[in-house]
Amino acid sequence: MAILISFWVLAIASIVGMIKWKKPLLLTVPFAAMGIYLLIQIIMVPLPFWDTIQMIFGLR
């Protein structure tokens, strides 16, 4: 639940920052954070990295 709240806070902060500083590139920050979080979760699986990726994409 804390991760979800932190993603919401990050998204709201990036929207406010984008409006305040007029930099639309700030809207990519939440997506980058979610991507990094996904990568960390994949790395935490106790298999070699490539086997984990094959397992994820090999699910049918």
Q: Coil, strand, or helix at residue 31?
A: helix
**Phi/psi at 58 (nearest 5 deg)?**
-95, 0
pLDDT more than 90, % of the chain: 75
Digits of tens for pLDDT over the chain (60 positions)? Answer: 999 999 999 999 999 999 999 999 999 999 999 999 999 998 998 989 899 889 889 986
**Average pLDDT along the chain:** 93
The DSSP secondary-structure symbol of 28 reads G
Residue 21 CA neighbour count, 13 Å, CB half: 10
Give DSSP secondary structure letters for 2-27. HHHHHHHHHHHHHHHHHHHHT-GGGG
- Residue with tokens 């990726």, as numbered in its chain: 53
Residue 47, pLDDT score: 87
**pTM exceeds 0.85, yes or no:** no
